[in-house]
Chain A
Amino acid sequence: MDKNRVLKCRTSLPVFRIVEELKDFDPIELMKFYNNWECLLKKKIPYGQFGNLLRICIVVTQDEGTTQWNFFDEKRFLLKLGNGNFKEANVIIVRCNGDVIQVEDEYIGSPVDAADLSQRKEGFLVIFIDCREVFFFVDAKLVHFARDIIDEKRMGVLTEKCLPAREYRKLINNQYEEEVNGQRGFKYWKNKGKRLLFNSPEIMFHKPLWSYLNSYVLDGKVDSEVQLSGTADRTDIRILTFEERKLYIIEIKCLGRSNKGKPERSDCWANQGILQLKEYLEDEKESTRGVLVLYDGRRENKEIDWIPKENWHEKTDENPMRFYLISEGASIRAQKMLKEFKKIK
């Protein structure tokens, strides 16, 4: 019997995370809802046909009400989706058994809107589905995020990608290769040619990394934005291992430009990350290691001019992980390489 697997599932499966926050919810009812919901999204939606139309916000309630139709009746749901029924009003109030009580006259277009709705719907579970991307909110707090529901494995299912938390560098690197490099998993360039990132780029990189680590860290609980004891600070990502109780803190920073007119974020921003990490590691006395992850969208791919190491916390990983974000397509890169090659010749 694998203790790590049991603890992983018990602490990280969305149902248990939600029940921890919403004590009034019946865990069996919620599990039924979650299993049906997962099956609907993973198996029954033809994304090629309906993917772009699938932007809905589900509010799960325990309240009674007159049933209109059942959300898990996939034929009916797909028919409504295909007819564009959720183009203007997409807030569906659902009971755990899938009975739809009401479709509210409101349109939720982004996770920010969904978080706001969740704040208004205190004591309910709010799920925002944007094609294959899924956000779970409870009282405006993001409790679970799946970058791609089709790819997401059930918490506790062992795959070759799973690694212990101590191999965090490998895990972060794998996530870069699988999801970040070449915008394979999500988009971050607002304008590739001008190397302009979307606004608040840290948030864009933070959630997918959290989701990835949540799925593939074998032996620990992965939390996002955990408040440090006695302070108002929140760490980006925190991993706490089950057996040895080792604590890893991950801080994410993005370099480059995300707003026209504003200067490029570079060395100073990276060093701010190191100092931020230092504070977190000082506050969190039990921490084992802290690592800075840089997603580098600067024009030039150059090393960071770091502040002297004596200003770093001793538990900070000496080699921050910098990923230079490639904006050119393969053909342009090949042309450039060819030019370089000719120069050398």
Chain B
Amino acid sequence: MSLIDYYSLKECVQKNKNYKRLSEILYVFYSGKELGWPHISKIGVQKSIYLSEVLAPLKKVILSFLNFIYHKRGPYSADIQNSLDYLVSLGAIEVVKFKKRGKSAFVDYRISESGESVVHSLLIEPKEKEKYDWIKLVLRVIDAYKDAFGIGKKFEDMDKIVDLVYEEPSFKEAQKKGRGKFIQMTLKDNLTMELTDFLKNIEETELSKFLKKEPKRDFETILLMFFEHLYLDFLSKREKKDG
């Protein structure tokens, strides 16, 4: 990539009115690469950003995708797909695989070398670094659960996390309303936050009575407990189904 290409790509990203959205998608791909994922699918990008977004108040990070709807394969935001297509057109993201099955298109993407350079330059800003750190933390927990026993039988790689996203409280609530309905992401009546507050409260007030040593009380543990909660809901449902 030439220097001119790099600067024009960086400018395209930074001057775009959806600059924040574009950068968040780039952080997902960059973190995924750091975790050793060769590519991320359309479904995977949607789920990674959804989880990073819905859990963001936990770390008081502000991300920019809020309009997720209830869709047959979990939460979906058209803005993500549009931004992703734009990044592909800029060459910051590459299409690795494209497959059409019926009406659905299955696409795998990866970050390009120029996309990585843009991320490096964006991370100089502390606010961007904070967003990136948060997204990476969520992706690390996704990585820890994606191969857990019993999940994602119908999916591959990190898409397997879909089974846990189906158990996510805000998504479940939207599911009751039906397809195409918006998922409540604002702080008011946010069921995800209700659950994380509950977990945080247990961590801070109850836990020390049952442990020999003082617990760490960090975001990592709360996040792990949140995912474990989703996983237990998934396993309990399966247990009930299997009788």
Which one of A29, A31, A43 has the greatest number of beta carbons of chain B within 10 Å?
A31
Contact A28–B235 (Cβ < 8 Å): no
**How distant is the Cα of A23 from the Cα of B141 in the complex, in angstroms?**
18
Within residues 15 to 33 of chain A, which ones have a CB less than 8 A from any CB in chain B? 15, 19-20, 23, 26-29, 31-32
Q: Can you report 25 residue pairs joining A to B where beta carbons are below 8 Å apart?
A: A1-B194, A1-B198, A6-B225, A7-B202, A7-B210, A9-B225, A10-B202, A10-B203, A11-B211, A20-B212, A27-B224, A28-B220, A28-B223, A31-B144, A31-B224, A32-B143, A35-B147, A35-B149, A36-B147, A39-B149, A43-B149, A72-B147, A153-B235, A154-B232, A157-B239
Main SS of chain B's interface residues? helix
Residues of B within 8 Å of A158, CB to CB, are 236, 239
Contact A28–B147 (Cβ < 8 Å): no
Residues of A within 8 Å of B203, CB to CB, are 10
Contact B195–A1 (Cβ < 8 Å): yes
Within residues 172 to 212 of chain B, which ones have a CB less than 8 A from any CB in chain A? 194-195, 198-199, 202-203, 206-207, 209-212
From residue B1, how far is it (CB to closest CB) to chain A in Å?
A: 31
Contact A7–B207 (Cβ < 8 Å): yes
Does chain A have a CB within 8 A of B65?
Answer: no
Contact B221–A27 (Cβ < 8 Å): yes
Among B143, B148, B221, B223, the residue within 8 A (CB) of A38 is B148
Does chain B have a CB within 8 A of A13?
Answer: yes
Q: Given the known A-B contacts A157-B232, A159-B239, are A240 and B210 also in contact in the complex, defined by CB atoms under 8 Å? A: yes
Q: Report the count of interface residues on B (CB-CB < 8 A).
A: 35
Residues of A within 8 Å of B202, CB to CB, are 3, 6-7, 10
Residue interface bits A35-51, CB-to-B below 8 A is 1, else 0: 11011001100000000
Residues of B within 8 Å of A36, CB to CB, are 147
Which 3 residue pairs across A and B have the least CB separation, nearest first?
A32-B144, A35-B148, A31-B144
From residue B51, how far is it (CB to closest CB) to chain A in Å?
A: 14
Main SS of chain A's interface residues? helix
Residue interface bits B18-59, CB-to-A below 8 A is 1, else 0: 000000000000000000000000000000000000000000
From residue B156, how far is it (CB to closest CB) to chain A in Å?
A: 15
From residue B149, how far is it (CB to closest CB) to chain A in Å?
A: 4
From residue B173, how far is it (CB to closest CB) to chain A in Å?
A: 14
Q: Given the known A-B contacts A1-B198, A35-B147, A42-B149, are A245 and B225 also in contact in the complex, defined by CB atoms under 8 Å? A: no
Does chain B have a CB within 8 A of A221?
Answer: yes
**How distant is the Cα of A26 from the Cα of B216 in the complex, in angstroms?**
11
Known: A11-B207, A242-B206. 12 other contacts (CB 8 A): A1-B195, A6-B229, A7-B210, A10-B203, A13-B228, A31-B144, A35-B144, A35-B145, A43-B149, A153-B235, A156-B232, A221-B210
Does chain B have a CB within 8 A of A289?
Answer: no
Residue interface bits A327-345, CB-to-B below 8 A is 1, else 0: 0000000000000000000
Does chain B have a CB within 8 A of A169?
Answer: no
Among residues of A, the one whose C-beta sits closest to the C-beta of B238 is A157
Residues of B within 8 Å of A29, CB to CB, are 144
Contact B145–A31 (Cβ < 8 Å): yes
Does chain A have a CB within 8 A of B129?
Answer: no
**How distant is the Cα of A154 from the Cα of B209 in the complex, in angstroms?**
23
Does chain A have a CB within 8 A of B76?
Answer: no
